[in-house]
Amino acid sequence: METRDALLEAGAALLREQPVGAVLTQVKAQPVAQRAGRTIGAFYHHWSSQEAYHRDLLAYVLDPQRLLSTAAAADTVLADLPRGLPLEEVVRRAARRNFEIVRANPYVPLILALWGKQAQDERVRELLRAHYRSVTDRLVPVYRTLFDAYGLTMRPPYTVEMFAATLTALVEGLTVRAAVEPEVVPLDLPHAGDLSAAPGAGAAGAAPWDLFSATVVGILRAMTMPADPA
């Protein structure tokens, strides 16, 4: 191999083995104390070392209470349920709000960077597990309530947990894509394509569909079925 290529491939090999280096360790005691308006003495009163601080900071940034997008989606569904809207409109409103908040969430880049450490770092993996677990735990009862209200049940072999995991994966993946190539993740579709099967539903509102919300409707139709197929 030519020397230049050999040196690039060597760097790439080092990155494949350890794809993400310093994520939290870039955060140093002095700027943290300054930002907080505290002394460096106060910092070391609470933590014996920067490493000890980084351990607590990891748990802090992955705390489920940082999951504003999940709470917003859940609240939107629950607030809309008594309004008698068509199912597609309830889904559109909740999914769109969820997508907007995930895209604006400054912790998403951090979580995805930390994910690159999970293979080498058991503690990161456990905290990410707990993080995603809490997303599912929050959303599953909301989805159940929604399906019950609209006479739907899961279509075997799907479960509500799988539905929740699929939607979370899709919103994260589309958030990644929309940041670098917004033109392939439209926010202003005239309607969700599969509504053609439900005449009149498309007229529920002239509100635009984004690609995430529209896809959620398709996934919901695929994974659920009428609870009482009369």
| Closer to a second copy by Cβ: residue 79 or 177 | 177
**From the list 71, 198, 201, 225, which residue makes contact with a second copy (rule: CB under 8 A)?**
225
133, two tokens: 């677990």
Q: What are phi and psi of 156, to 5 degrees?
A: -55, 145
Q: Segment 85-124, which members bind a second copy (CB under 8 A)?
A: 106-107, 109-110, 112-113, 115-119
Other Cβ atoms within 10 Å of 44 Cβ, number: 15
Q: Is 129 in the site for a second copy (CB under 8 A)?
A: yes
Task: Report helix, strand or coil for 147.
Answer: helix
Distances (CA, A) of 66 to 47, 124, 135, 185: 23, 16, 11, 25
Q: Is 198 in the site for a second copy (CB under 8 A)?
A: no
Q: Segment 42-61, which members bind a second copy (CB under 8 A)?
A: 42-43, 45-46, 53, 56-57, 60-61
Alpha carbon 28 to its chain centroid, in Å, reads: 28
Q: Which of 213, 173, 166 is closest to 194 using CA atoms?
A: 213
Rounded to a whole number of angstroms, the minimum distance from the CB of residue 123 to a second copy is 12
Q: Segment 3-42, which members bind a second copy (CB under 8 A)?
A: 3-4, 6-27, 31-33, 35-38, 42
Q: Segment 136-195, which members bind a second copy (CB under 8 A)?
A: 136, 155-158, 161-162, 164-166, 168-174, 176-177, 179-181, 184-186, 189-191, 193-194
